[in-house]
């Protein structure tokens, strides 16, 4: 009985390897946040290595990300993450949304909510150092003030 169950699971695992979600891969940078907001290179580097895998249209997959059912789980994070914040489409957000998202970035970093723990477990280089957190939060504050002043000057 146990043997049959194990064989069943094995067969299932093989079959699901053929069910592949479309990869989150795009080289289109035309609506990236950096096209409308100044993102210093150092900040950009951190966002790209710690956030873009789930919050952009371009994920760098690890080899086991392609093994099912891991891939579904990863793809779910990407879908949920992009729904909240997509750096690749930031330029399409209206000003209120931009302000809110910039503010949220500061909050999740301050509260150590992002990057997700499930992610940093396997992506050690995505863990933010105190200096990196400070740099991002400073950038967030400056950017927020700048966007906010541009917003009110248009009214
Ligand atoms: C492993 C995927 C993953 C990574 C990496 C990741 N996020 Fe997220 N993020 C998510 C998911 C999933 C959600 C939506 C569910 C939730 O809030 O937990 C989210 C939500 C958010 C939100 C909105 C939630 C809120 O409470 O306002 C912000 C802002 C955010 N992430 C910023 C970041 C930043 C900044 C980084 C990099 C430092 C980052 N994320 C890295 C997956 C990720």
- Tell me how crowded residue 46 is: count the other CB atoms within 10 A of its CB: 21
* Residue ID of nearest Cα to ligand 1 atom 3: 54
Protein residues whose CB sits closer than 6 Å to any atom of ligand 1: 50-51, 53-55, 77, 80-81, 84-85, 104-105, 108-109, 114-116, 119
In terms of residue numbers, what domain contains 103?
2-153
What's the start-to-end Cα distance of the chain, in Å? Answer: 73
Distance CA 93, CA 86 (A): 10
What's the whole-model pTM score?
0.93
Tell me, in angstroms, the distance from the centre of ligand 1 to residue 55's CA: 7
Estimate the crossing angle of helix 41-50 against helix 130-153, to 10 degrees.
110
Q: How many structural domains does the chain have?
A: 1
CA 72 from centre of chain: 16
Instruction: List per-residue pLDDT tens for the chain, 155 residues long.
Output: 899 999 999 999 999 999 889 999 999 999 999 999 999 999 999 999 999 999 999 999 999 999 999 999 999 999 999 999 999 999 999 999 999 999 999 999 999 999 999 999 999 999 999 999 999 999 999 999 999 998 776 55
User: What phi and psi, each to the nearest 5 degrees, are found at residue 31?
Assistant: -120, 20
- Tell me how crowded residue 127 is: count the other CB atoms within 10 A of its CB: 13
């Amino acid at each position: 009985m146990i043997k049959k169950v194990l064989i069943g699971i094995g067969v299932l695992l093989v079959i699901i390897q053929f069910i592949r979600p479309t990869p989150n891969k795009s080289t289109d940078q035309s609506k990236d946040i950096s096209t409308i907001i100044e993102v210093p290179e150092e900040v950009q580097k951190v966002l790209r290595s710690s956030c873009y895998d789930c919050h952009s249209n371009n994920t760098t997959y690890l080899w086991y990300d392609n093994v099912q059912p891991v891939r579904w789980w990863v793809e779910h994070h990407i879908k949920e993450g992009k729904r909240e914040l997509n750096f690749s489409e930031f330029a399409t957000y209206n000003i209120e949304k931009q302000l809110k998202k910039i503010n949220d970035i500061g909050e999740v970093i301050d509260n150590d909510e992002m990057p997700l723990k499930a992610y940093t477990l396997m992506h050690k280089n995505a863990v933010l150092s105190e200096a990196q957190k400070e740099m991002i939060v400073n950038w967030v504050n400056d950017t927020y003030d700048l966007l906010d002043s541009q917003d009110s000057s248009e009214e």
